[in-house]
Amino acid sequence: MDKRAKDLAEAVAPIPDGASVMIGGFGSSGIPFGLIDALLEQGARELTIIANNAGAGETGVAKLLRDGRVAKVVCSYPRSPGSIWFERRFEAREIELEVIPQGTLAERIRAAGAGLGGFLTPTGYGTLLAEGKETRVIDGRGYVMEGPLHADFALLRAEAGDPWGNLSYHGTARNFNPVMAMGARHSIAEVRHLSEAPLEPERVVTPGIFVQSVVEYGVRP
Amino acid sequence: MNRLSDSDLAARVARDIPDGSYVNLGIGKPTHVSAHVPDGREVVYHSENGILGVGPTPPAGQEDVEMIDASKRYITTAPGASFFEHADSFAMMRGGHIDIAVLGAYQVAENGDLANWATLDETFPPAVGGAMDLVVGVPRILVMMRHTGRDGEAKLLRRCTFPLTGLGVVSRVYTDLAVLDVTDAGFVLVDLTPGNSLAEVQAVTEATIHT
């Protein structure tokens, strides 16, 4: 089995206009900067971006927002220092925003990958973010019903990968990458080191079954 | 009135964190707490982006760009640290495994309601992050905040006016003017910043402070 793509451009070629795309990372760590740049170059528009943050400065998701490629952002924490492109698009009402509590975002993505129809969480019960959602009281405690969150594609960043699509991570760069690998129908991983040889099985964090293509990108900006 | 600096306020919170605790520090003022934990106590800091055992800031030039905390500051690891992915990280938070969370707030009400993720300004995008998960899962929620807003408006209220993060979730509030417990009877005074009188603090607090 060989899931290696020739380059970043080949890896992102299948992403069409209107696709939903999960993008790994938290703050500045674990972000697939190379794949995002390749997606920008590729030109897909009207994207739904599912990520924890909405980018900062002129890097990553912020570039997609800057260049008008994004129709909708689904995230937990869009506003951060330097998130100027998100704020401009939001204030001009050029993008739709769905804010989801961070743990619910991760678990909805996991549910999609794990084949679950949803779950009951106490997070958000009684708040604005639970309005219109099914609720239930179990043993005196309120829960909100949350459904799975699927995506057409996921763009991931990992430290090491092999031709089978197995991935391992570095430090806090792991974050959303493993759940997004599960939650998307087609997951593309950018890795710092892509080896010919298989990774040590004990070192694998994301099993290759969740990854459809893998490409080396050694730069860590 | 005498107002504690952010650093002194962090030290006041740190005094109340017991040895052996697993603690999550929110973005902003709470991040200063770890620098003030008294010698001899081991506290394990959790950061929602996937680390237990957050260590001190690295020396300049030795930062690892992939090692950050929830406030996006560069970090190191403490002895006994571990890394994990987001769904596991939030299982720790919702599942009752973290002992204490220290959070910032826009408003706290006398019934323990917390508002810290959105205002009433529709042009100001909301940002919930992990706050709603923390308040439902962590048994002891400590809030660190200025007692009053920029224009002197009260932030310790009978009922919150901003959208809620959680209902009845706050255990104790540490402000620059006083420390208050949230009880079934409402706010109860724990201590005052030295030099302040209860009458002075009550005058800038909408809710009643009980003694």
Express each pLDDT in A56-110 by its tens digit. Answer: 888 899 999 999 999 999 999 988 888 999 999 999 999 999 999 999 999 999 9
**Which of B62, B136, B165 is the best substitution to test chain A (most A C-beta atoms within 10 A)?**
B136
Q: Which residues have C-beta within 8 Å of that of residue B151, sequence separation ≥ 6? A: none
What does the pLDDT read at residue B125? 81
Name chain B contacts of A149, Cβ cutoff 8 Å: none
**Which of B122, B132, B160 is the best substitution to test chain A (most A C-beta atoms within 10 A)?**
B132
Q: Kindly list the strands in the beta sheet with B107-109, ordered across the sheet, starting from the edge strand earlier in the chain.
A: B114-115, B107-109, B156-157
Percent of chain B with pLDDT over 90: 91
Pairing of strands A141-146, A119-121: antiparallel
A151 DSSP β-pair partners: A184
Q: Which amino acid is at A79?
A: R
The three-class DSSP label of residue B91 is helix
Q: Give the ipTM of the model, two decimals please.
A: 0.94
Instruction: Enter the CATH code of domain A8-216.
Output: 3.40.1080.10
Give the residue carrying structure tokens 């925003």. A97
B86 touches chain A (CB under 8 A): yes
CB contact under 8 A, A29 and B67: yes
d(CA B13, CA B9): 6
What does the pLDDT read at residue A221? 63
Question: Is A220 a residue whose pLDDT tops 80?
Answer: no
Average pLDDT of the segment spanning A181-200: 98
The pair of three-digit structure tokens given for residue A208, joined into one six-digit string:
């290759």
Distance from CA of A33 to the nearest CA of B (A): 13
What does the pLDDT read at residue B27? 87
Provide the residue ranges of all domains of chain A, joining segments of one domain with +: 8-216
What does the pLDDT read at residue A80? 82
Name chain B contacts of A124, Cβ cutoff 8 Å: 132
The pair of three-digit structure tokens given for residue B72, joined into one six-digit string:
């996006």
* Options B42, B48, B85, B200, the catalytic residue: B48
Percent of chain A with pLDDT over 90: 91
The three-class DSSP label of residue A14 is coil
Average pLDDT of the segment spanning A10-18: 98
CB contact under 8 A, A80 and B127: yes
d(CA B164, CA A99): 14
Element (DSSP H or E) covering residue B171: none
Q: How far is CA A61 from the centre of its chain?
A: 11
Give the number of other CB atoms < 10 A from CB of residue B87.
21
Q: Which amino acid is at A26?
A: F
Name chain B contacts of A76, Cβ cutoff 8 Å: 127-130
CATH (one of 3.40.50.300, 3.90.550.10, 3.40.1080.10, 3.40.50.11810) for B6-210: 3.40.1080.10
Least confident of A121-135, A204-218, B118-132: B118-132
Sort A106 into a burial class: Cβ within 10 Å, 0-12 / 13-18 / 19+: buried
Q: Which amino acid is at A52?
A: N
Q: Which residues have C-beta within 8 Å of that of residue A35, sequence separation ≥ 6? A: A8, A11, A12, A155, A156, A157, A188, A190, A215, A217
Residues of chain B with pLDDT under 50: none
